[in-house]
Structure 1
Amino acid sequence: MVIVNIKPLSVNEVWQGKRFKTPKYKEYERAVLLMLPKIKIPVPPYSITFEFGVSSKLSDWDNPIKPFQDILCKKYGIDDRDIYKGTVSKVLVKKGQEYVKFKIE
C-alpha cells in the first residue's frame, strides 16, 4: 500500500461559493427517494457497497457516489460521516439498462 502523508481534502473545500442543486439532480433525487425500499439500517459505524451499472465506458467510477449517497442518507436518516468503509464497482451495461445496487452494513 502506498502512503501519502497529506491531509485528505474534503469535497466541501474543493469549490468556492455555494453549490446549488440542478433541476436534473432535483428530479433524480425525487425519483430515487420514491424507488428506495424500506430497509432496516444497522447501528453505526457503517460499511457501504455500491455497484453502478453505466452505459458509457467514459463514466468515472466515483462520480455517482456522492449524489446517491446523499439521497440514501436523506431517506434512511443516516449521517455519511458515520460511513467508515466503502466498496464501489462499475459495470458496463447496455443503454437503458443502467442501475444502482447498494448495501449498508
Structure 2
Amino acid sequence: MIKICIKPLSVNEAFQGRKFKTPKYKAYEKHTLLLLPSKITLPPPPYRIDFEFGLSSSLSDWDNPIKPTQDIICKKYGINDKLISEGNVKKIKVKKGEEYFRFKIDSA
C-alpha cells in the first residue's frame, strides 16, 4: 500500500452546498497531488481500491474521507472512478498530528 502522511479531509469539509469545492478542499487537493507518487502501475480495470485512514478524532466517520481522497487519486492517475467496482476501508485511531491515508489499487 502507498502511504501519504496528510490528515484525510472529510466529505463534509470538502464541499459547500451541492458540488462546490471549499477553499479547504482546494488546498488539500493541491497538497495531496504533490505528495502522491508521480507514477504508479495500474492493473487493467475494473479496479478494486483499498484505503486505510489514520484519523485522530474518534468522532470521524469511517466513510467521510473516501470521496475526496478517491477523487484526487483518480485525478492524479487519470482513472475514471466509474471503473472502480470494489473497495475496502479501514479506520485506524492515531495521535493528533500523525494522520495519514494509505491506498492500493488492484484489479477487481
Instruction: Using structure 1 for the length normalisation, give the TM-score.
Output: 0.82
Aligned to 2:27: 27
Structure 2 residues not aligned, in runs of 5+: 1-16
Instruction: Report the AA paired with residue 42 of structure 1.
Output: P
Aligned to 1:63: 64
> RMSD of the alignment, in Å?
1.0
Aligned to 1:75: 76
Q: Deviations over 1:49-79 (max 9, x none)?
A: 0000000000000000000000011000001
Cα distance between partner residues in 2 of 1:48 and 1:90:
15
Equivalent position SS for 1:75: helix
Percent of aligned positions with the same letter in both sequences? 67
Structure 1 residues not aligned, in runs of 5+: 1-16
Instruction: Report the AA paired with residue 78 of structure 2.
Output: G
CA positional deviation for 1:35? 0.4
Bigger fraction of residues in strand: 2
Equivalent position SS for 1:58: coil
Equivalent position SS for 1:42: coil
Relative CO higher for 1 or 2, CA cutoff 8 Å, sep ≥ 6?
Answer: 2
**How many corresponding residue pairs?**
89
Equivalent position SS for 1:60: coil
Residues 26 and 43 (structure 1 numbering): CA distance in 2 closer, same or farther, change over 3 Å?
same
Aligned to 1:41: 42
Instruction: Report the AA paired with residue 64 of structure 1.
Output: P
Equivalent position SS for 2:21: coil
